Amino acid sequence: MRFKLLLSLSTTAAMGLSLSTVYAGTVHYTVKSGDCLYSIATTYGTTVAKLKSLNGLSSNLIHPGESLIVKKTTSQSSSAKTISYQVSPSSSSATTYTVKSGDSLWAISQQYGVSVTQLEAWNNLNANSILHVGQKITIKGGSSSSTLSSRSSSPLDSIAAMAQGQVIVQYAEQFRGTPYVWAGTSPSGFDCSGFVQYVFAHFGISLPRTSYDQYTVGSAVSESNLAPGDVVFFDTDGSGASHDGIYVGNGQFINAASTQVEIDSLSGYWANHYVGARSV
């Protein structure tokens, strides 16, 4: 299923949302290779729907060299934004977790969307500390991935997130067939996390280099609530998030697998090694 970001003033009014943006002027933008309407809209602080309306576009398809009219707002910068989505739990709320057999700080950190370093600091632990069954662990902020269901605080944000996810997937799919290269981070060859990092960087989203570190970014998403653009993780090399890819919808994800960038199903082998997903 593909989502289109088609929002008007009447739509937002029906949603109970208030828009008070004041427009300063109009600029022209020449489309470059690799551009899409979403990336241009983000750069100029507008929306895909407004770009399409201003330029009489009936689809999201644009071509290099094409000139677009872009309306810029006074509250937005005309330079692209690079946003790092590192989780920073608030210290105002705390949860107490009781250690079970087989638990580790890493496993607990992934369940609650915090880092091992934070768990160590909150509980006076270090890298040499040993957990014991029944031990109480303090977690400040964070949300258990098993209880996550809502993806957004408002209808407008939810629609924007779905549209962004679709654009990310469309961009990622153009690299299908690119060879797998250990430690590869470019279209000449990717490894799994290098591919994910490269795709999101195109949209100004800065992710860590490894799949293990990427699993600490953003917010946890339950498997039943996956949406295009979410990053899915697997334990293909022992415990932990040793492999990842980008969810494309319909139970499939795109990833730099053992030989090339390809689309695989979350069933079978991958279902047996699935460890979780993050929305970034």
Contact partners, residue 146, CB within 8 Å, separation at least 6: 111, 222
Which candidate, 113, 133, 100, 101, places its Cα nearest to that of 214?
113
Q: Is 243 a catalytic residue?
A: yes
Distances (CA, A) of 152 to 7, 157, 226, 261: 17, 6, 13, 30
Do residues 172 and 246 touch, judged by C-beta distance below 8 A?
yes
Q: Is 250 a catalytic residue?
A: no
Catalytic residue among 36, 60, 192, 272: 192
Give burial (CB, 10 Å; 0-12/13-18/19+) of 181.
Answer: middle
Catalytic residue among 63, 250, 255, 272: 255
Integer Cα distance of 173 and 262 in angstroms: 8
Distances (CA, A) of 40 to 62, 159, 279: 11, 18, 22
Integer Cα distance of 102 and 58 in angstroms: 55
Q: Is 132 a catalytic residue?
A: no
Q: Which residue has the tokens 């008007």?
A: 8
Catalytic residue among 126, 243, 250, 273: 243
Integer Cα distance of 39 and 80 in angstroms: 9
Positions marked catalytic: 192, 243, 255
